[in-house]
Structure 1
Amino acid sequence: MEVLVHPLLLGPNLPPTFYRGAGRIADFRSDRFGVVPRDRPEDWIASTVSRFGERSTGLTELPEGGYLREAVDAAPEQWLGPDAAEWSSQLPRPSLLVPLVKFLDAGQRLPVHVHPDDTFARSRLGAAQGKTEAWVIMEAPADALVYLGWRQEMPVDRLADLVERQDVTAMLAAMNAVTVRAGDVVLVPAGTPHAIGQGIFLTEVQQAADLSILLEWQPFLADPEQAFGGATPDVALDCVDVAPLGADVVDELVVRGVLERSSGAGRSSLMPDAADGFFALLLRDGGTLAAGYSTMVVLGGRGTLAGEDWTRDVERGMTLAVPYAAGPVRVSGEVSVAAFTPGARRTAVAGA
């Protein structure tokens, strides 16, 4: 296989879903790839996983043809680094180490839902891994809210009753309502119930999995059996963390004003500490990114990315998959980029 030594520019990847967008993905992307449907609320960037239960919907197609998943699995050292086999040994394929990055445009409030952790996903759902995620808030109205975890202990029988009766008012009242602004980062550990308020545009990074348990399905789904990821309701609710999420923990999961910072020349993540081992976020408005896989989002401006034998002009709204083999990446010009990488413990093992 030909060794890939430069980043790949990725176009929009807009699988249909059950809620509506408000055109912010199209606005951010502009029209360089043609018309982006304004009602599509999700754009899956560098996706090596398909939508739950489907064969290929959601997978990222490469510009030269084929899927990113196939390319990474065929040449993991080229994409992920020389120790890729070692640090992917707990997964069925190396491409599952590539974090899934999404643009998410909440044209309406998203339902209250939860994602299982690794143990639950493997033992109860037959999946390769669970789904811890984080949100980088790109745009938000003045009164923007996200909901994160329970304020007090949520007895399992009460949760089951609220879900069965679809008492969403009571669910939301029992959760931590957190005000967010553009530039904030919110980490959502697997098992934590959550919801995203209307009007928020964010970039989401997550483990490579499409596993969701919807505690609220009305009016989003016509068939409530679709809400539980193929499990029965009693099994599905076992993945929900019913312990209270105190204000001190919420403060640790929400980092304010991240997009106003730069992560310097190293590989120190700007994510909350609990994201370590899942994914990392590096920001650059100049300087160099060390060699290593990243899914890159150009946040603003125009500039140039350059390696030893390649250069690429970039501008706001572009997204790229950057393989390890591309080497260190120099960022220059009036441009700001976010690079999402595998977690710190994994990249440390890989010698990055």
Structure 2
Amino acid sequence: PWGGAGLSGFASGRARIGEAWLIADHRHHHSIVAGGGHAGWTLHELLDHYNRRLLGSLADGMRGGCFPLMLKIIATSDSLSVQVHPDDATAERLGELDVGKTEMWYVLRASPNSKLICGLQPAVTRADLSEAIESGLREAIEPMLSAFSVAEGATVLVPAGTVHAIGADLVLAEIQQNSNVTYRLYDWGRKRSLHKAQAFEAIHFGLAHPGPNRPLGYPQRDGTCTVLAACRYFAAEHLAVNGVCPRETGGRSFHILLLKSGMLRLADGEGTWEQPLPEGRAVLVPGEQDEYVLMGGGECLIYYVPDLAKDIVGPLRAAGHSEEAIDALC
């Protein structure tokens, strides 16, 4: 009911699409390799065959031997439901097949009035929210939610247990734990089912959400890397390239690349292969690839499982960022 026109290019004949799962290894959808020697393989088959060579030394597969992260593009014409995702412990306690779900949004496109909801107002208690949800009244529920305006480039980390909703007229890149568990609290008068009991089990009351992240950058050869968000599940970076920009994985984790703008080519560090970074598709660099190179002029988003000390804190300290700013980002 809320899908937008921003993803119409992903499926012919469909004007409105809500989500495109670009990297997914889930019982509801498996990504398929588009080209090369493994064309036609699913991501799950790749992981089953290559395991650590695909994941890297640090990243771990999940329950059922699945890939740990999922990358989506979300396009909205209307607001999504007010909802919450459980953390790992709560998902297990409630008998879910999936793990919990911490996620991060990066705004690719926004209208002048676009908003995101993330968190409850600090004074809201379990009893307050329960009474408002039971009333079903928008005027009772909306004042309890923490909403803020966003523009292109805004980044928001959404820890599991955080009440949230994506507003209308947005296109987002969403990186998340590999989970599809959502508990709806309120659906703006639409008649879909709600999951009030599970939602109240999952909500982390008393934790104020800080709002959009304050990314921190540092220079790289022929480029600038900006750390958008980092947690134990994933790191997200924006890389602006103008020339030949080498990137190191250290063999610790796969890297997921998503072109944002411009024209970039991807090559290995030894010069044995090279390919364009395609528009509208994600590229997965295996963890065993110690180094790769991005060439050209453009911007991309990069996601991976971080060693927080080596991949995030060290480079940001070296660039002169304060401990306070780094702590706020991690």
> How far did 1:43 drift?
0.4
Tell me what 2:54 maps to. 79
Tell me which residue corresponds to 1:270: 227
Partner of 1:340: 303
Q: How far apart, in 1, do the equivalents of 2:2 and 2:199 lie?
A: 25
Aligned residues: percent identity? 21
Partner in structure 2 of residue 61 of structure 1: 32
Distance 1:300 1:235 in 2: 40
Aligned-residue offset at 1:93: 4.3
Report the number of matched residues: 298
Relative CO higher for 1 or 2, CA cutoff 8 Å, sep ≥ 6? Answer: 1
- Asked whether the 8 Å contact 2:84–2:199 carries over to 1, the reply is no
* Map 1:186-205 → 2, pairs under 5 A: 186-205=156-175
Corresponding position of 1:255: 214
SS at match of 1:236: helix
Instruction: List gaps (5 residues or longer) in structure 1.
Output: 1-18, 51-56
Q: Write out per-residue CA displacement over residues 318-350 of structure 1, whole angstroms, 9 at most, x where no aligned residue.
A: 3212212344221111222111112434997xx
**How many Å separate the matches in 1 of 2:90 and 2:303?**
25
State the alpha-carbon separation in 2 of the partners of residues 290 and 58 from structure 1: 30
Q: Distance in 2 between matches of 1:36 and 1:318?
A: 19
> What pairs with 1:217-256 in structure 2 (closer than 5 Å)?
217=187, 219-222=189-192, 224=193, 227-228=194-195, 233-243=196-206, 245=208, 249-251=209-211, 253-255=212-214
Q: Which residue of 2 aligns with 1:13?
A: none
CA contact 1:148–1:176 (8 Å) conserved in 2: yes
Corresponding residue for residue 129 of structure 1? 99
Q: Are residues 168 and 46 of structure 1, via their aligned partners in 2, closer, same or farther at CA, if it must alter by over 3 Å? A: same
**What's the counterpart of residue 247 of structure 2?**
289
Query: Equivalent residue for 2:325?
Result: none
Cα distance in 1 for residues equivalent to 2:254 and 2:310? 9
TM-score (norm 2): 0.80
| The structure with more strand, counted as a fraction of residues | 2
Secondary structure in structure 1 of the residue aligned to 2:81: coil
1:214-254 deviation digits (Å, cap 9, x = unpaired): 001354454x2xx33xxxx4343111122252xxx515x53
Residue 282 (structure 2) pairs with residue 310 (structure 1): no
Q: Structure 2, unaligned stretches of length 5 or more?
A: 312-330
CA RMSD of aligned residues (A): 2.8
Note if contact 1:142-1:181 (Cα within 8 Å) is conserved in structure 2. Answer: yes
Indicate the residue corresponding to 1:279 in structure 2: 234
Q: Verify: 1:21 aligned to 2:3, yes or no.
A: yes
